[in-house]
Chains A and B, each alone.
Chain A
């Protein structure tokens, strides 16, 4: 079954403590992997698109990487304002149609 799994479900870090979030997928014919950030009560905010294994994208303290089975979102020296839920989504052909399938998200809390 096509699936997108994010881990951990929740992560609590101290300000400045770097870590990584994981998104593993079991879809065939991956056409793109997307990372979003969602603040409480708001819609997801687009962060990155990754298309090929080995690809990396960076934005401020965030870096996303992609392998053939998973993607990592690395957070370097995070600040309290990085606290949010991070979602990954996979674009793939599922049941004959191109669809975007979201993981359940990782809820990140950065303590000052």
Chain B
């Protein structure tokens, strides 16, 4: 079974530009979550999508947005890039989403390799 794929793997952008990252979940998984990982802040939750609807959102500015398509693939967009947006952006897929999972049910998230974004 193919894992989570993310494209592109590496990106270099300049301040003020915008960027779109793509994530294809594991086949059959309908939930996709996005995270930002930096050495100082660790893994921080951006948002979660399930059935094309955003179900959960982290504490990031509105410059960060996302969407999910009917085939569960997801995209994340960052507009007006800032130097501090340089990070590893990780996508994770799971069978259930956080609102439906419970004790004994599976909310394991499987991560992709990430997109390394560098803003200069």
Contacts and interface: CB of A to CB of B under 8 A. Distances in A.
Contacts, number: 65
A87 B43 CA distance: 9
B9 to A, nearest CB: 10
B4 A43 contact: yes
Given A43-B90, A99-B56, A31 B114 contact: no
Contacts of A105: 42
Interface residues of A, number: 25
A104 B98 CA distance: 21
Given A32-B107, A43-B90, A52-B103, A100 B45 contact: yes
What is the predominant secondary structure among interface residues of chain B facing chain A? loop
Interface string B87-119: 000101000001101111011111111101000
Nearest to A91: B107
Contacts of A52: 103
15 contacts: A31-B107, A32-B107, A34-B109, A41-B114, A43-B114, A44-B90, A89-B43, A97-B99, A98-B98, A100-B45, A100-B98, A101-B45, A102-B35, A103-B42, A104-B42
Interface of B: 4, 33, 35, 42-45, 56, 58, 90, 92, 98-99, 101-104, 106-114, 116
Given A31-B101, A43-B111, A102-B44, 14 more contacts: A34-B107, A42-B114, A44-B43, A45-B111, A46-B108, A46-B110, A46-B111, A49-B108, A97-B98, A98-B99, A99-B58, A100-B98, A102-B35, A102-B42
